[in-house]
Structure 1
């Protein structure tokens, strides 16, 4: 399984590559009043209006700075959602498999938001996000 590694707020996180539709420069955003935690607004990408979530803010880290990148992922019910990240690190092949997330790492996020730890061939560890829960639940 492949993982797209991204940096937000000084931390590195993994997103399942099969959920990634594309990576772009952030488009012009339209703010949405009373949006939930981390939602920066909406944007039009290739004729589709999608919600744009600041992943740093959503995870309780520093908001994403400019210029950043927009990672368009398939959200619930195959609706595209834009995730603002500071930068895309690259695609990781998980030759080493996955490990359970340490309690200390899991405690920093709402329950269930961390799916585990990816262990790529390089040997470094990358926290895997459970996108359904990150996008679908309110933060603490």
Structure 2
């Protein structure tokens, strides 16, 4: 059975809703670990067969600085060796530049980014939840 890790940070709950929907989509075919980034460790990423990482846009379209940024930065000198990965998160304003930069950053760290990061404006709507569930299915069928 595939091991899927979903690591996320959520301030308002929007990104957490997305993480839960990804988990739901992956549960039928995989062992899913859903963990808040403040409780995560590198092994949650390195030991998984596929990974989803979620964080909303903060400030000037940046990752959350207290937990998510240091967690992501900890992989800078670790080759992720083609780890299948999809990024996700919500935003209030901007055009999603933080997600584009995050996708590129994780590619630079060696991740195999399976699709453009999924972003939702504020609270995920039904269509967004469906897209999240599809991400879960995609990760579990790699």
- The question of a shared fold, defined as TM-score above 0.5 by the shorter chain, is answered with no
More contact order relative to length (CA 8 Å, sep ≥ 6): 2
TM-score, structure 2 as length reference: 0.27
> Which structure has greater strand proportion?
1
Q: Normalising by structure 1, report the TM-score.
A: 0.27
